[in-house]
Amino acid sequence: MKADGRLGVRDVFILSLNDMKRGESGVIKEILGGHGFARRLESMNIRVGKNITKVSAMFRRGPVTVQADHTRLALGFGMAGRIIVEVKR
């Protein structure tokens, strides 16, 4: 039971990778920006519908490291902000 008394009910948040907490996982909802960026990610099997985990982020808008299946990818803060994820909290 949660602190506010709800039983196992979790809220769904739609947010960018940059707004996720470290260690948090979610399902990719949308990849914004150019087609090239989405295609580059897709070739690495990071695409809409896939599970993605934020492994770490460097301070002061440094690169963000994510993991999808067994692929680990480090990408710039700007790029990370264009990956929109559905997270349950």
Partner 1 sequence: MKRILLMGDPNVGKSVVFSRLTGVHVVASNYPGTTIEYTSGYMRLDGQKIEVVDVPGTYTLDPTNEAEKVATDMLKPDDIVINVVDSTNLERNLNLTLQLLERGNPVLVCLNMWDDAEHRGITIDSGKLEQIIRAPVVPTVAVSGWGIKALVSRIPDARPSEPRIMNQEKRWQEIGSIIRSVQITTRRHHTFLEKLEDASIRPFSGAIIAALVLAGAFTLVRLIGEAIIQYIMEPFFARVYSPLIMKLSSVIAEKQFLHDVLIGRLINGEVDFTQSFGFLSTGVFVPVGMVLPYVVTFYFVLGLLEDVGYLPRLAIFLDRIMHKMGLHGYAIIPTILGLGCNVPGILATRILEEKRQRFIAATIISIGVPCAALQAMIWGMLGPHGWEYVLLVYGILLVVWFLIGFGLNKMMRGFSPELFIEIPRYHVPKLPIVLKKLGMRVLGFLKEALPVVFVGILFVNILYTLGVMDAIARFTAPVVVKLLGLPEEAVTALVIGFLRKDVALGMLAPLSLDPGQLVVASVVLAMFFPCIASFIVLMRELGFLQMIKATLLMVVSAIVVGSLLNLAL
Which among 30, 40, 72 is positioned nearest to 54, based on CA atoms?
Answer: 72
Shortest distance, CB of residue 38 to partner 1, whole angstroms? 10
Of 11-30, which residues contact partner 1 (CB under 8 A)? 22
User: According to CB under 8 A, which one of 16, 18, 24, 74 is a site residue for partner 1?
Assistant: 74
Containing H/E element for 40?
helix 35-42
> d(Cα 85, Cα 31) in Å, to the nearest integer?
9
> What are the tokens at 26?
């979610």
Q: Looking at beta carbons only, is 39 or 88 nearer to partner 1?
A: 39
75: contact with partner 1 by CB under 8 A:
yes
> What are the tokens at 73?
């990818």
**Number of chain positions touching partner 1 (CB under 8 A):** 30
Residue whose entry in the numeric block shows the structure tokens 């909802």:
29
- Interface contacts to partner 1, rule CB under 8 A: 22, 36, 39-40, 42-45, 47, 55-63, 65, 69-79
